[in-house]
Amino acid sequence: MRVEDLDVNEMIGDVGKIICEHDRKKGVLIHAFQKIQQDYGYLPGEVLMTLSKKLSLPLAEIYSVASFYKQFHFSPRGKKVVRVCMGTACHVRGAKNVLNALEDEFGIKQGETTDDLAMTLETVGCVGCCGLAPVATINEDVVGDIGKKKLELLVKAIKEEEK
């Protein structure tokens, strides 16, 4: 989607009829971010700048909304997004070790992306399968019960995809 083609009224639907213009513009922001992220994989600065001009909302306000949500990113993301669960159950079962091992293996810190844009390492609160703790997800696939062996498999799985 090109930001220039964004139609505020269409996006907001019938609600738009009862709220003022400024709120209408603010209302479509998250929707617009999601669409932009779908296309680019992240929210590039220049695109947000165009969006700010298009909606005549200050860039700081747009950035402020986007930065509130963890789902929006401001730098390019890797092909594989590995999320290590740091929820209570996983924490108790040593999620920290899993994270440290992955950080050491790929030489990046949590929240960072490898230089070749192959992998992004993140932490999450809970993925909802505490029975399998400690858990990590690679894109949409869940890897549970990570022990030493599973960890090796996990690393392998991430690396394999890279090739």
Partner 1 sequence: MVELTIDGKKVSVEDGITILKAAQMNGIKIPNMCYDKRLRPYGACRLCVVEAEKQPRLLASCSTPVAPGMVILTDTPKLRKVRQTVLELMLIHHPLDCPICDKAGECDLQDVAYEYGKPEGRFIRHRKAMPPDVRGPLVELTANRCILCGKCVRICSEHQGRGALGLIGRGFPTVVQPAFGEILECDYCGQCIDICPTGALLSKPFKFQARAWFLEEKDTICPFCGCGCTLTLGTREGNVLRSRGKEDNGRSEGNLCGRGRFGFDYIYSDNRLKTPLIRKNGAFVQATWDEALMHISDSLKYIINSYGKDSVGAIGSHRCTNEDNFMLRKFMVSVIGSHNMDSSAAFGYSKVQKALDMAFGLKTHSINMKSPLGKDVIFILESDISITHPVFGLNILQAKREGSQLIVADSRDTKLTRHSSNYLKMRQGTSVALLNGMMKIILDKGLFNREIVSKTQGFTEFETSLAEYTPGKVSKMTGISEEELVSTAETIAKAKNRMISLTVSATENTKGMDTVLAASNLVILLGEDIDALQIPAEYANTYGTYKMGIRPDAGKTDVKDIFDMLYETNSLNALYIMGEDPVSTFPYNSKIMRTLKSLELLVVQDIALTETAKLAHVVLPASSWAEKDGTFVNAEGIEQKIHRIVDAPGQSLPDWQILRNLSLSMGKEIAIRNIEGVSEEIKKTIREDQKTSDKRVFNTVSYSAGEEPDMEYPLSLVTRDVLQHSGSMSTRSKALDLVVSEAFLEINEDDARKFGISDNSHVKITSRRGTIYLKAKVTDTVQPGTVFTSMHFPHGRVNALTYPSENGAAGTDAVKIESVKG
With binding defined as CB under 8 A, does residue 9 bind partner 1? no
With binding defined as CB under 8 A, does residue 45 bind partner 1? yes
- Specify whether the CB–CB gap between 89 and 144 falls below 8 A: no
With binding defined as CB under 8 A, does residue 61 bind partner 1? yes
51 vs 85 by CB, closer to partner 1: 51
Binder among 2, 23, 39, 58 for partner 1 (CB under 8 A): 58
With binding defined as CB under 8 A, does residue 76 bind partner 1? no
With binding defined as CB under 8 A, does residue 74 bind partner 1? yes
Residue 71 CB, shortest distance to partner 1, in Å, is: 12
With binding defined as CB under 8 A, does residue 59 bind partner 1? yes
Q: How many residues bind partner 1 (CB under 8 A)?
A: 15
With binding defined as CB under 8 A, does residue 18 bind partner 1? no
Residue 22 CB, shortest distance to partner 1, in Å, is: 9
Polymer length in residues for the chain = 163
Q: CA-CA distance, 146 to 137, in Å (whole number)?
A: 11
Print the SS3 string covering the chain. Answer: CCHHHCCHHHHHHHHHHCCCHHHHHHHCHHHHHHHHHHHHCCCCHHHHHHHHHHHCCCHHHHHHHHHHCCCCCCCCCCCEEEEEECCHHHHHCCHHHHHHHHHHHHCCCCCCECCCCCEEEEEECCCCCHHHCCCEEECCEEECCCCHHHHHHHHHHHHHHHC
| Span of 23-31, 62-70, 138-146, 147-155 interacting with partner 1 by CB under 8 A | 62-70
> Among residues 115, 159, 117, which one has the least CA distance to residue 138?
159
With binding defined as CB under 8 A, does residue 56 bind partner 1? yes
Binder among 3, 12, 36, 48 for partner 1 (CB under 8 A): 48
**Interface positions with partner 1 (CB under 8 A):** 45, 48, 56-64, 67-69, 74
